[in-house]
Amino acid sequence: MKDTDTAPAGARTPRLAGRGALIGALVLFAIFAVLPFAAHAAGDPFFIVTATRIIVFAIAALSLDLILGYGAIVSFGHAAFMGIGAYSVAILATHGIGDVLVQALVAVLASALFALVTGAISLRTKGVYFIMITLAFGQMAYFFMVSLSAYGGDDGLTLYDRSTLFGAPLLDGDIGLYYAALAVLVGAFFLLRAVVASRFGRVLRGTRDNRVRMQAIGFSPYPYQLTAYVLAGAIAGLAGVLLANQTEFVSPAYMTWQRSGELIVMVVLGGMGTLTGAIAGAVGFLMLEEILSSLWVHWHIVFGALLVLIVLYTRGGLAGLAGRVFGGRRR
């Protein structure tokens, strides 16, 4: 089997082989699948809400890993796509359109269009200039939503009903929404796995490793990077649709650069360039946040210190750690 979960250039860390990464992802999906039953047995239905949030951010982290881990494109405006997806749900619901398929289609198209326009400009820069321009576009989207007083402005907008599917309230219950989010996560994982294993993915990784060499052999990196950027934005928009339904509230705060920073930390924590690691990073990040916040009011101090230690001493993130534990030093 072709190895699709490769480490970034110069990482020099053990990593899960392609088969091992797939097995790891399947194990995570199996755990997610039985979580509602475990929560019911433990008498803690609220855990389903937390697990749904984890899955939603795992989808967003997956989309970011496509451009960050496989394309070395560091975007500080990725949360804007989630916000666009969430606001697509809220704005359409305000005008009486509550079908999730319509909302998801609008969210994907709007996020992809925003990614196309901003990516076409941003990708003409590189390094810190690219980081700053994506940050600027993300903040532009944030302040645009703040200015829309008709849709709540800075106060946000409450959703009084969750989305329907052909008129049926299939997402009204937490269990229904949970499994819908899990289905999207599984679909996004296998879609991106196919993408990175394709010729397109090989060119994207080659550009990450040595842009000049790829140009020398006849490949223009720009259209490949822009396509990846648009695809990542579209998937993040889909995560925003689920986030709006999970919280039943949308706010410009979903689009801040701090939220984009959290997504980057999730990807780095799990292991850049490992799709399985992106999911594990979202799980680890949000579980740590949930546990520590319940123990101490100043939990951010401990949380930050733990993240620093994990990144410094767990080479390759959680995926790298799993590769060393279960796969030895095999590269």
Domains of the chain: 18-327 (1.10.3470)
Dihedral sign of CA atoms 238, 131, 278, 72 in order: positive
* Neighbouring C-beta atoms of residue 218, cutoff 10 Å: 6
pLDDT for the residue numbered 329: 43
Digit-coded pLDDT (tens) for 218-260? 889 999 999 999 999 999 999 999 999 999 999 999 999 999 9
pLDDT for the residue numbered 243: 95
Rounded Cα distance between 177 and 182, Å, is: 9
pLDDT for the residue numbered 330: 37
pLDDT for the residue numbered 327: 62
Q: What percent of the chain has pLDDT over 90?
A: 58
pTM score of the predicted model: 0.90
Dihedral sign of CA atoms 324, 326, 330, 331 in order: negative
Rounded Cα distance between 66 and 72, Å, is: 9
pLDDT for the residue numbered 169: 87
Rounded Cα distance between 171 and 138, Å, is: 29
Residue ranges in the chain whose pLDDT is less than 50:
1-17, 329-331
As a whole number of Å, the end-to-end CA separation of the chain is 14
Q: Letter for the amino acid at 166? A: F
CA angle 279, 282, 287 (to 5 degrees): 130
Contact 93, 163 (CB under 8 A): yes
* Size of the chain in residues: 331
Coil, strand, or helix at residue 164?
strand
Q: Which two tokens mark 121?
A: 């400009």
Q: Which two tokens mark 79?
A: 């949360």
pLDDT for the residue numbered 5: 42
Helices 174-197, 275-293: axis angle to 10 degrees equals 140
What pairs with residue 249 in β-bridges? 158
Contact 82, 255 (CB under 8 A): yes
What pairs with residue 99 in β-bridges? 164
Rounded Cα distance between 232 and 63, Å, is: 5
Q: Letter for the amino acid at 328? A: G
Rounded Cα distance between 284 and 292, Å, is: 12
